[in-house]
Amino acid sequence: MTNVALDYPCDLEDERPIEIVNGVEIPKMAARPEHQNVVLGMIRVFDQHLRKGPCRLYFDTFVHLTPKEKYCPDFLIVCDHSKVVPGKGVFGAPDLVAEVLSPRTSKRDKGHKKDVYEKLGVQEYWIVDIKSLSLEVYILNDEGRYELSNVYFATLTETELEDMRTTATFTFKTSIFEDLIIDVREIFEDLL
């Protein structure tokens, strides 16, 4: 049995596909194929691992954070099942959230949404950039502030990484699953 949840989509029949950001309703637009391919890459990376434990992954699911903040993140993981309300979505902070940037959402995803996720205690936040085939990983520190853990690039060679004088590699571990090694190239596999 998979731990991928498909049962609370942002386009529920009884609810318009909108996000509420800082109290303003914003229509949710259909994702481009490359956007969808990256989300599927994240699902593939986590699916097998999540079968071993209590956490579930969701995509295109409403997350009710506050009355003024209702988002539909591209990808999220929730380990506390009391936050999931059947037919309505997730209420409260997920453990991990990933937003895939698009020209229309980039500023919000990097700014306001990131600040809200941080304030409400989302342990790990990923900003996924299709243009640069990169993944920024932010982890909540002991003071409740996001720290940039690293930026991972799917297309750079080891030599290019060394030339950038960065500690970046292609693989990393999430803060919520210490035993899961993720290769960023798997996330962007369909775009390489």
pLDDT at 165: 54
Q: What is the pTM of this model?
A: 0.87
Domains detected in the chain: 4-191 (3.90.1570.10)
Burial class (CB in 10 A: 0-12, 13-18, 19+), 38: buried
Q: pLDDT tens digit string along 54-66?
A: 999 998 889 999 9
Give 67: exposed, middle or buried? Use CB within 10 Å, 0-12, 13-18, 19+: exposed
pLDDT at 111: 96
3-state DSSP call for residue 75?
strand
pLDDT given for residue 141 in this prediction: 97
Q: Which residues does the chain have with pLDDT short of 50?
A: 1, 5-8, 13
| Cβ–Cβ under 8 Å, residues 47 and 3 | yes
DSSP letter for 32, please.
P
